[in-house]
Amino acid sequence: MDKIIRFSVSLPEKLLEELDKKVDAQGYASRSEFTRDLIREKIVKDDWQDDNSDVIGVLTMIYTHHQNELVQKILEIQHDAKIHIMCNTHVHVSHENCLETVMVTGKVPDVKDFAQKIGGLKGVKFCKLVEASIPAS
């Protein structure tokens, strides 16, 4: 376990009251845990601004599998991508629609390019990339 360092932060009273409301409403054990989550979130966001960062992403898509050659095009994009595909899930939501998630790692521009190529295909009804990375701790 990492060594815990204590430091103090000065806040205006009203901002501290808002912080305490968030801590309570979201079920955090403490202000410290809430603050750690905010810092981690900022680090992840910053990682996605750096083209040299290795990041993790989850691409969620809904598409009609009856669209001509759509599944083949999705597979070709996956095979040709400059990223590492860690896992892929595929669920038949209805007779017409499939829900698929693709968990990937790679450099920021490559992951974004992968998501944009799939999202732009005819027959893809929804496509969203969840941006993540692993903060130091």
65 annotated ligand binder: no
95 annotated ligand binder: no
CA atoms within 13 A on the CB side of 24: 6
* Residue 79, amino acid: H
92 annotated ligand binder: yes
79 annotated ligand binder: yes
Q: Are 83 and 111 in contact (CB under 8 A)?
A: yes
Crossing angle (nearest 10°) for helices 70-80 and 108-119? 170
Write out the binding residues.
79, 90, 92, 98
Q: Would you list which residues are annotated within the binding site for Ni(2+)? A: 79, 90, 92, 98
